């Protein structure tokens, strides 16, 4: 379980993360969403003490990261799979990390096996593809069998197979009862991986909720109808004040429930070939939510 309270990070006078608080529960994958440059990566670096935060704290099962003597046993972090010396072999890369936290070389071989890199354990990291580096990064996360897992943009630059592997690995880790926090700007990917969301914009918390709640709150909903008498239905709907977008065969009716449209059609003897409710994607919801935060900040800044 991760608890972040009032985390604030400034670079000079620029506020990168502003009084951010959220929690990450064990057993689920929590997606950490924010437009590029809005602070997810900075937040993660501050949480594990790489960057100094000006105020606030991040607790891992109640303890700050800096108090952990052998942190790999409690928190596994992958910020950037490129953080590995290109001249070292995969095995040696993991060996020095393992040694620093008192883990035996045997554990290195185990995690290499888990991520499927055993065959290339003695190859230099510089010869690895991005996908292999990402697997090596996951291996380093698993070294200490931690209760908390943190990954920054793990799907970045991966091919579809690699993305699928990461997705299944994260779900597997969460199913074992670990708290998993994953940042990403690949929203469609996040919709598949995450159960819960922490959404930030301009370094501020916009919302913490489940993916379904987030979509239902922020994504648009509309009713789609197809009908041989479409023109008549559209005219009736417009007369009732509904927003209608139409082409030759279908019409989208906004700001209305499908039941209302069905009753309107039945009451006027109009035949319907389709009547369905559509919901926007996580991407739509996210753009909607963060656009508001950007506008809000723009106004508040110009006001001061």
Partner 1 sequence: MIAIIRSEWIKLRTVRSNVTTAIVAMVIPLAISLLSVTFMGEENIDSGTLPGFIVGSGSVAVLLIGVLGVLCVTQEYSQGTIRLTLAATPSRPRVYLAKGVVVAVLGAVLTGFIVLIGNVVGSAIIDARDVPELDSNPDAAPAFLAMILMGAVVALLGMAIGALTRNPPSAITTLVLWPLLVEGIVGGLLSLAFDDDVARWMPFQSGLNSMFLELPEDGFGRWGLLGYFAAWVLFVSLIAERSLKRRDA
Chain residues binding partner 1 by CB under 8 A are: 45, 48-52, 65-68, 70-72, 77, 79-80, 82-89, 92, 95-97, 99-102, 140
Question: Which residue number, 70 or 292, has a Cβ lying nearer to partner 1?
Answer: 70
Shorter beta-carbon distance to partner 1: residue 30 or 140: 140
Cα end-to-end distance, the chain, whole Å: 38
In 3D space, the residue among 112, 157, 119, 153 whose CA is nearest the CA of residue 135 turns out to be 112
Q: How far is the CB of 154 from partner 1 (least distance, A)?
A: 15
Q: What minimum distance in Å lies between the beta carbon of 97 and partner 1?
A: 6
Shortest reach from residue 3's CB to partner 1, in Å: 18
- Give the separation between CA 115 and CA 234, rounded to whole angstroms: 56
In sequence order, what are the residues at sequence separation of 6 or more whose Cβ sits closer than 8 angstroms to the Cβ of residue 12? Answer: none
Residue with smaller CB distance to partner 1, 86 or 249: 86
Shorter beta-carbon distance to partner 1: residue 50 or 294: 50
Minimal distance, residue 37 CB to partner 1, in Å:
16
* Closer Cβ to partner 1, 26 or 49, answer by number: 49
Beta carbon of residue 87, minimum distance to partner 1 (angstroms, whole number): 5
| DSSP string for 209-268 | EEHHHHHHHHS-EEEEEE-TTHHHHHHHHHHTT-EEEE-SSEEEEESS-HHHHHHHHHHT
Cβ-in-10-Å burial (0-12, 13-18, 19+) of 211 comes to buried
Q: Locate the DSSP E strands across the chain.
A: 2-11, 14-24, 29-33, 55-60, 63-64, 75-78, 148-152, 179-184, 196-201, 204-210, 221-226, 243-246, 250-254, 274-279
For partner 1, the closer CB: 66 or 268: 66
> Cβ of residue 175: shortest distance to partner 1, in angstroms?
25
């Amino acid at each position: 379980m991760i608890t972040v309270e009032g985390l604030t990070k400034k670079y000079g006078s620029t506020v990168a993360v502003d009084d951010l608080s959220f929690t990450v529960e064990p057993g689920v994958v929590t997606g950490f969403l924010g437009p590029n440059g809005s602070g997810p990566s900075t937040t993660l670096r501050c949480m594990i003490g790489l960057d100094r935060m000006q105020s606030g704290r991040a607790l891992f099962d109640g303890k700050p990261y800096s108090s952990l003597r052998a942190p790999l046993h409690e928190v596994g972090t992958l910020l950037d799979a490129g953080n590995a010396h290109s001249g070292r072999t995969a095995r040696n890369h993991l060996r020095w990390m393992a040694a620093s936290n008192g883990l035996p070389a045997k554990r290195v071989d185990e995690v290499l096996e888990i991520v499927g890199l055993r065959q290339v354990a003695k190859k230099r990291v510089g010869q690895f593809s991005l996908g292999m580096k990402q697997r090596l990064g996951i291996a380093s996360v698993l070294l200490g069998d931690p209760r908390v897992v943190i990954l920054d943009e793990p799907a970045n630059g991966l091919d579809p197979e690699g993305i699928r592997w990461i997705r299944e690995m994260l779900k597997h880790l969460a199913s074992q009862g670990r708290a998993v926090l994953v940042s990403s700007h690949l929203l469609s990917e996040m919709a598949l991986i995450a159960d819960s969301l922490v959404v930030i914009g301009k370094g501020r918390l916009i919302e913490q909720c489940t993916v379904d709640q987030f979509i239902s709150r922020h994504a648009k909903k509309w009713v789609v109808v197809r009908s041989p008498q479409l023109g008549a239905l559209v005219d009736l709907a417009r007369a009732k004040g509904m927003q209608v977008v139409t082409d030759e065969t279908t019409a989208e009716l906004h700001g209305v429930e499908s039941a209302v449209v069905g009753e309107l059609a039945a009451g006027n003897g109009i035949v319907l070939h389709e009547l369905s409710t559509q919901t926007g994607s996580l991407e739509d919801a996210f753009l909607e939510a963060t656009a508001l935060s950007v506008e809000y900040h723009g106004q508040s800044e110009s006001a001061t």
